[in-house]
Structure 1
Amino acid sequence: MNYLLSVLVENKPGVLSRVTGLISRRGFNIESLTVAPTEDESLSRMTIIVEADEVGFEQITKQLHKLVSVYKISDLTYEEAVERELVLFKVQSSPERRHEVIEIANVFRAKVVDVGKNTLTIEATGTASKLDAMEDLFRSYGIKQLTRTGKIAMSRGAQ
């Protein structure tokens, strides 16, 4: 099963390495990982999706709590949370068919961020299922390149 963790850590060199090393040394796979500073520049938030069973997940969280550089761990797996991902698609697009690709982007509220001679680069944000649907549609035109950020998440409401 995939678990979604939001981990508040010190914004210092080596913290990312210690957290990921702790998880990988125990034989668990990190499906997605994003890290960025927070509103407090001394802290960073790691959003981690880890594949584990229930016992393994409990082991991971207990070990993370022992790290001095970890301040708070939030399990968002079953909580109501706002989840988003960013993707850039570079889609093959001849000038004659360019309007079709732009129409698809507009339907998904994505935007064209670069126009090449035979390609369009499109930026989109949303849930994984939305981005997967866009990818399926763009495949018929030919995806030259694709980059996804991984999921970021935040609990809903005043928490």
Structure 2
Amino acid sequence: MEKRILTILVDNTSGVLSRVAGLFSRRGYNIDSITAGVTADQRYSRMTVVCEGDDQMLQQITKQLAKQEDVRDVKVLEQDDSVARELMLVKVAVKPEQRQGAVSVADIFRAKVVDVSKDSLIMEMTGGQNKLQAFVELMADYEILELARTGITGLSRGSDDVRYL
């Protein structure tokens, strides 16, 4: 099984997200993460879908996505030719004497403390999935109260392959 990151340019119309997700579910394919947002041109949105499967299944889903009426373009983001990131918020319980230790770990990972209360910290971090997972593992020394991840978003490198905003 391999993981594939697809970036999909779609018309910015209602129901597009549902139709794209429905294509996966009708065929029994799982979506690991999905993000969507408008591009610089308000007529289009970009979706980033992370899915896992064998090569034949991934090729099939890529071709089927390209055939959808609302889909303008589908790209596979190759690891060496793209930049992919994820945002994560982590709320950890900290006693006053633990606060500096938690902040030190956050500093090492370039996480930013975005909220402080008397018994917890909320930290924001962006990066690749491996970096985020390593941070979560180190924060396990503290009590993780809540964790939210956005899912991966990404762009291909360079300007040679640019076909949309």
Question: So what's the TM-score if we normalise by structure 2?
Answer: 0.93
User: What is the CA deviation profile of residues 28-72 of structure 1, one whole-angstrom value per residue up to 9, with x for unaligned ones?
Assistant: 100110001111111000000112212211221221122110000
* Aligned equivalent of 1:46: 47
Give, in whole Å, the separation in 1 of the partners of 2:75 and 2:19: 18
* Aligned equivalent of 1:138: 139
* Aligned equivalent of 2:37: 36
Aligned pairs for 1:98-137 (under 5 A) are 98-137=99-138
**Residue type of the alignment partner of 1:121:** I
Superposition deviation, residue 77 in structure 1: 3.5
* Aligned equivalent of 1:58: 59
**Structure 2 segments unaligned to the other structure (5+ residues):** none
CA contact 1:5–1:77 (8 Å) conserved in 2: no
* Aligned equivalent of 1:89: 90
Greater mean alpha carbon deviation, residues 117-126 or residues 58-67: 58-67
Q: CA RMSD in A?
A: 1.0
Give, in whole Å, the separation in 2 of the partners of 1:117 and 1:13: 43
Give, in whole Å, the separation in 1 of the partners of 2:153 and 2:8: 11
Where has structure 1 moved over 4 Å in runs of 4 or more?
none
Secondary structure of the corresponding residue to residue 143 of structure 1: strand
**Structure 1 segments unaligned to the other structure (5+ residues):** none
CA contact 1:87–1:149 (8 Å) conserved in 2: yes
> Sequence identity, in percent?
47
Superposition deviation, residue 9 in structure 1: 0.3
User: What is the CA deviation profile of residues 1-44 of structure 1, one whole-angstrom value per residue up to 9, with x for unaligned ones?
Assistant: 21110000011110000001011111110011000111111100
* Aligned equivalent of 2:19: 18
Question: So what's the TM-score if we normalise by structure 1?
Answer: 0.96
Secondary structure of the corresponding residue to residue 57 of structure 2: helix
**TM-aligned CA distance change 1:136 to 1:86, over 3 Å:** same
User: How many residue pairs are counted as aligned between the two chains?
Assistant: 159
Give, in whole Å, the separation in 2 of the partners of 1:3 and 1:98: 38
